[in-house]
Amino acid sequence: MIAVPSGVRVVVATAPVDFRRGMESLASVVQMELGSNPFCGDIFVFRSKRPDRVKIVGWDGTGMWLFHKHLEKRWFTWPPVKDGVMTLSAGQLTMLLEGLDWSRVTPLKVKAPIRAC
């Protein structure tokens, strides 16, 4: 499984991509279509036209990596198909990759304290 370090954004491309693409081609999609830097350390999640497949690309400081998963008996819960991106928390990404409905979990936002006790 993928361990998402603290501070790393998880960016989901909401429109399906051609799953014949490899990691260099997906990095090009990140740069040209999503308007982001594929080498910034963020994790970029892509869906196929079939809802049971996911590809994830990222840069870890030493090289580009590609993760590909195909669920056997279920489908991933995807956001509605539209152009653009959305972000997920690390916990939501874990749920997505397990085939669970991540959209029912919203990360708790806590206001930072003004001073230490």
* pLDDT one-digit tens code per residue, 69-98: 999 988 888 877 677 888 888 888 888 888
Instruction: Name the pLDDT band for 22 (thresholds 50, 70, 90).
Output: very high
Give residues with Cβ within 8 angstroms of 54, minimum separation 6: 45, 46, 47, 48, 67, 68, 69, 76, 96, 97
pLDDT at 82 (0 to 100): 75
User: Average per-residue pLDDT in the chain?
Assistant: 86
pLDDT in tens, 43-74: 999 999 988 999 999 998 899 999 999 999 88
